[in-house]
Amino acid sequence: MEIFPAIDLIGGKVVRLSEGDYSREKKYAVSALQAAQSFFEAGARCLHVVDLDGAKSGRAENAETIESIVKSRDMFVEVGGGIRTFDQIERYLDCGVRRVILGTVAVRDFSFVERAVQKFGSAISVGVDAKDGKVAISGWKEVTDINSLEFCKRLKEIGVQHVIYTDISKDGMMKGTNLEVYRVLCQTEYPKITASGGITFVDEVKKLKEMGVYGAILGKALYEGKIPLAEAVQVAKD
């Protein structure tokens, strides 16, 4: 299983939100480059970066900061937030991003995802953010009536190989993740799943690995010292 330490950006600064609420933002006294460096030194070789400004605006607001992160270390970097055009996908891939994450656009224009997968293949991932089992979009501000699990199945049918599934109610709360939903998502009718949202304990990393989850995103628990990254990386390898 792959471990993806998370760097969420607002105004170029590293932040974490609680339950996706932009009014409950916590800034950290570390730059994006410093965070990436510390994760690399702890043994991580993957990185999950989100442009939170872009998730709301629909534009790549923190692209320059993200490009500097990618160029700073030889890591597998996936990026999400505000990616809604082929031009932006190509810009990120050209600078060294290995996988881009489509979110809101996947709901508003499903055919865009189909075309993106045809053009970019496994470099396309989709972020499925769920609130009470329904897909949320636009920086989690709008909750649709789309069943999140059924949406994941549709994504696999059109060739999407990776989905990042987040239970919004768990995100940033440091009370544990939704292990039950990941047990369901590890069944064959779903794409490869990266677990995101609320992973707080090393034991959860072990359980996710045993389920067969492809990856796990660690965020606030890293910044708050709840999970030692080096230990999580080792557990994921063992």
Cα-based torsion angle of the residue sequence 72, 86, 6, 71 in order, rounded to the nearest 10 degrees: 0
Cβ pair 174, 198 in contact under 8 A: yes
- Which residue in 8, 53, 167, 171 is the catalytic one? 8
Cβ pair 48, 8 in contact under 8 A: no
Measure the CA–CA gap between 178 and 198, rounded to whole angstroms. Answer: 8
Cβ pair 113, 105 in contact under 8 A: yes
Greatest Cα pair distance in the chain: 43
Phi, psi angles (nearest 5°) of residue 141: -80, -25
**Catalytic residue flag (residue 132):** no
**Catalytic residue flag (residue 8):** yes
- Which residue in 51, 53, 129, 171 is the catalytic one? 129
Measure the CA–CA gap between 32 and 64, rounded to whole angstroms. Answer: 11
Measure the CA–CA gap between 2 and 133, rounded to whole angstroms. Answer: 25
What amino acid positions are annotated as catalytic residues?
8, 129
